[in-house]
Amino acid sequence: EAEVAQSPRYKITEKSQAVAFWCDPISGHATLYWYRQILGQGPELLVQFQDESVVDDSQLPKDRFSAERLKGVDSTLKIQPAELGDSAMYLCASRLRGGGNEQFFGPGTRLTVL
Amino acid sequence: GQSLEQPSEVTAVEGAIVQINCTYQTSGFYGLSWYQQHDGGAPTFLSYNALDGLEETGRFSSFLSRSDSYGYLLLQELQMKDSASYFCALSHGGATNKLIFGTGTLLAVQP
């Protein structure tokens, strides 16, 4: 069964360091989402791609966060510099173009900033 | 802005029926989705209501009333494996289907 892949699964870093997360969506899924989920809360959308284009990054803290999906397939989310408040689960999800309402989520990357 | 409110915790016993409510505020949306998330796991899609009324998928049903800005997820014949967090989410449809998630409800199923 096709799944969304993410790596690393866990990341511990010190504040002011740079971190990067990788996501490989289900093959053929044109839409890719990055969410941040703070413990005990619902996922919050950070950025959304349609193919290689950003279609919504209104909630992305652009002074420190960046995201790219250069070839419209896999994607990287970067934080530089990391802050204590960035500790959270970072989830990637994908959706088939015209494929209904279901988003398929990856296992996430648990980030701890010390 | 948009917001969704859910009870933070619900407890029920195995075999019972439980309803998880979701109230929302929004200026417009396409539908209401429900996702399940086990501790440490990824959210998984359960149900979607585009129209008012009840949608049934096996042991799970979901309801939407746009006039009341209200929806609920109904879980029947509860099993221990149903212990998880449940999120309602406003779907904005279209080509990109942006989701705005609620606060989440932690369901504990007891034997």
Strand partners, A32: A49, A94
Q: Model confidence over B42-73: pLDDT tens digits?
A: 999 999 999 999 999 899 999 999 999 999 99
Taking an 8 Å cut-off on Cβ atoms, the answer to whether B99 and A45 are in contact is yes
pLDDT at B94: 67
Q: Where are the beta strands (DSSP E) in chain B?
A: 3-5, 9-13, 18-25, 31-37, 44-49, 53-57, 60-65, 70-75, 84-91, 99-101, 105-110
pLDDT at A1: 73
Q: Is the bond into A8 cis (omega within 30 degrees of 0)? A: yes
Q: Quick one: tokens of B34? A: 């429900």
Determine the residue of chain A that is closest to B104 in CA distance.
A42
Q: What is the C-alpha to C-alpha distance for residues B19 and B71, in angstroms, rounded to an integer?
A: 10
Phi (first) and psi of residue B90, to 5 degrees: -80, 130
Taking an 8 Å cut-off on Cβ atoms, the answer to whether A56 and B87 are in contact is no
Q: Model confidence over A46-90: pLDDT tens digits?
A: 999 999 999 999 999 999 999 999 898 999 999 999 999 999 999
pLDDT at A2: 85
pLDDT at A99: 67
Burial readout B54-86 (b: 16 or more C-beta within 10 A, e: otherwise) = ebeeeebbbbbeeeeeebbbbbeebeeebbbbb
Element (DSSP H or E) covering residue A21 = strand A19-24
Taking an 8 Å cut-off on Cβ atoms, the answer to whether B97 and A31 are in contact is yes
Residues in chain B: 111
Q: Model confidence over B14-45: pLDDT tens digits?
A: 999 999 999 999 888 889 999 999 998 999 99
For residues B86-103, give the mean pLDDT: 86
- B101, B105, B106: which to substitute to probe chain A, counting the most A Cβ within 10 Å? B101
Q: Does residue A42 sit at the B interface (CB-CB below 8 Å)?
A: yes
pLDDT at B92: 82
- Work out whether the CA dihedral A58, A59, A64, A70 comes out positive or negative: negative
Q: Which residues of A touch B41 (CB under 8 A)?
A: 107
Q: Which residues of A touch B87 (CB under 8 A)?
A: 42-43
Taking an 8 Å cut-off on Cβ atoms, the answer to whether A41 and B103 are in contact is yes
Determine the residue of chain A that is closest to B42 in CA distance.
A107
Question: Is residue B96 over pLDDT 80?
Answer: no
Q: Which residues contact B23 (CB under 8 A, 6 or more apart)?
A: B4, B5, B69, B70
Q: Model confidence over A93-109: pLDDT tens digits?
A: 999 877 678 999 999 99
Taking an 8 Å cut-off on Cβ atoms, the answer to whether B41 and A55 are in contact is no
For residues B85-103, give the mean pLDDT: 87
